[in-house]
Amino acid sequence: MAAAPRDVPRRGLFIGGGWREPSLGRRLPVVNPATETTIGDVPAATAEDVELAVAAAREAFRRDGGRHWSCASGAVRAKFLRAIAAKIKEKKSDLALLETLDSGKPLDEANADMDDVAACFEYYADLAEAFDGKQRLPISLPMENFKSYALKEPIGVVGLITPWNYPLLMATWKVAPALAAGCTAVLKPSELASLTCLELGAICIEIGLPPGVLNIITGLGPEAGAPLASHPHVDKVAFTGSTETGKRVMTAAAQMVKPVSLELGGKSPLIVFDDIDNIDNAVEWAMFGIFANGGQVCSATSRILVHEKIAKQFLDRLVAWAKHIKISDPLEEGCRLGSVVSEGQYEKIKKFISTARNEGATILYGGARPQHLRRGFFIEPTIITDVSTSMQIWREEVFGPVVCVKEFSTESEAVELANDTHYGLAGGVISNDPEICERLTKAIQAGIIWINCSQPCFVQAPWGGNKRSGFGRELGEWGLDNYMTVKQVTKYCSDEPWGWYQPPSKL
């Protein structure tokens, strides 16, 4: 049974531990993409609000000399992170429902996202605690009259700018490590899906997070994101989104030599070899790699390369499985493909499909609105063949349930095709031969390699890309380092004079 939609809470901007109306009083409508109805609105922050949010974060960073947050022990911060995780678990079904209403993703996926959100806060609570014991580790030096150690310190006030595809999860991948590190933060979620991020503000109030430690400002990219990225009192910007916006963020930050980390787009390959025992297992991973979350996944394996010997069989099975996907209102039980996030995204995906057709590719399956769904931004799972490497569908990120499939005959051809992209986020290999898997793990130019699967993601393991997919790593211990700066501390431990200069005459 579908869950009954609830009222969408009306929230302000979350600044300094409380709600504030946006300075210009403007709000943005929230549209449920599965029904095309307006279900609420969110505040539209502008530069004036960014000013207030950054000031609140700065004040929280310095309050009482940092004793209560930035210089407090990791154990102190861990308590707050665990309290947030507990609240996420308690409110899981409400949050998942809001996420689905806001983004169109199947409710089962939104529920899994909330589990991941809670797990991420818990994981960084553990790291914050463990961190206390790892500080000031001595560095071995070649001179015994000096002692040295490295002190890791929070980088300061951080600006966190996030996308709409996993709204609360992508925010959490930044908020949890930033807070664990002792930073204070201003989060700017995507204007296309901000509801659950605002609910995180409500949770911060409930658990008594010190005011200003986390501030959440919703609004448009150029109006709220741009002033945050260029703000002189923001010490670092962590951005997830498109490569085009990533370039703008990096340009703005460069003016102040401000560090950035960028998690950007992808056009990841999945290479299927002919030595596999079970073609359906491969097909299911291929499906998960492109149709989960409606293909709106940065790491989606949107280019399948299949060995020519099994290509026909693989494609037949892929189409058969794709026909079986339940496409429905995302609140319906068993839904596996909901709507895409917005009308704009829907139109963009349809344009990609028509351009592929016009360029000579074959739409083997899908490519249109499902006939049984008259409203909502739904697109069938779409499989495209007869693709050449100059086509747009091969080169550009669609961010929808659209996969292109190409055959290869040799391993080296597969590697060349896999790397024939400006992106470098992820890649997958499906083969029974461990040596092939090992060789391709090294040969594929990407930050994440999946072997005999696609898309599994664990908070303990590093996440991020190369090439135009960005740089820096989230998750795991690498995620914490994103929000730390390293200070070298060196002490002279001898009573002897240094002896470089001659002392002045005592006469």
Ligand X SMILES: C[N+](C)(C)CCCC=O
Ligand Y SMILES: NC(=O)c1ccc[n+]([C@@H]2O[C@H](COP(=O)([O-])OP(=O)(O)OC[C@H]3O[C@@H](n4cnc5c(N)ncnc54)[C@H](O)[C@@H]3O)[C@@H](O)[C@H]2O)c1
Q: Which residues bind ligand X (CB under 6 A)?
A: 165-166, 297-299, 455, 457
Q: What is the DSSP letter of 295?
A: G
Work out the angle at residue 471's Cα, subtended by the Cα atoms of residues 467 and 472, and round it to the nearest 5 degrees: 155
To the nearest whole angstrom, how small is the minimum distance from the Cβ of residue 279 to ligand Y? Answer: 29
**CA distances in angstroms from 215 to 55, 56, 222, listed in the order given:** 10, 8, 18
- Angle formed by the axes of helices 167-181 and 107-134, to 10°? 10
Pick one of ligand Y, ligand X, none as the site partner of residue 457 (Cβ within 5 to 8 A by kind): ligand X
Chain residue whose CB lies nearest ligand X: 457
Looking at 263, 380, 397, 474, which residue is catalytic? 263
Residue in this structure with the two tokens 């797990």, named with its chain if needed: 119
Give contact residues for ligand Y (rule: CB under 6 A): 161-165, 170, 188-191, 221-222, 225-226, 229, 240-242, 245, 248-249, 263-266, 298, 397, 399, 425, 465, 469
To the nearest whole angstrom, how small is the minimum distance from the Cβ of residue 244 to ligand Y? Answer: 7
Amino acid letter, residue 304:
I
Chain residue whose CB lies nearest ligand Y: 221
| DSSP conformation letters of 340-354 | -S-HHHHHHHHHHHH
How many Å separate Cα 412 from the centre of its chain? 31
To the nearest whole angstrom, how small is the minimum distance from the Cβ of residue 135 to ligand Y? Answer: 29
Q: What is the DSSP letter of 305?
A: E
264 vs 430 by CB, closer to ligand Y:
264
Q: Are strands 146-154 and 138-139 parallel, antiparallel or unpaired?
A: antiparallel
Token digits of residue 89: 């678990």
Pick one of ligand X, ligand Y, none as the site partner of residue 427 (Cβ within 5 to 8 A by kind): none
Starting at the edge strand found earlier in the chain, the sheet holding 184-188 runs 18-20, 13-15, 214-216, 184-188, 157-161, 236-240, 260-263, 470-471
To the nearest whole angstrom, how small is the minimum distance from the Cβ of residue 464 to ligand Y? Answer: 7
Q: Which of 347, 306, 297, 352 is nearest to 469 (CA)?
A: 297
Examine the residue annotation and report whether 263 is marked as an active-site residue of this protein: yes
- Cβ–Cβ under 8 Å, residues 256 and 240: no
Q: Are strands 382-385 and 426-430 parallel, antiparallel or unpaired?
A: unpaired
200 vs 298 by CB, closer to ligand X:
298
To the nearest whole angstrom, how small is the minimum distance from the Cβ of residue 424 to ligand Y? Answer: 10
Catalytically active residues are: 263
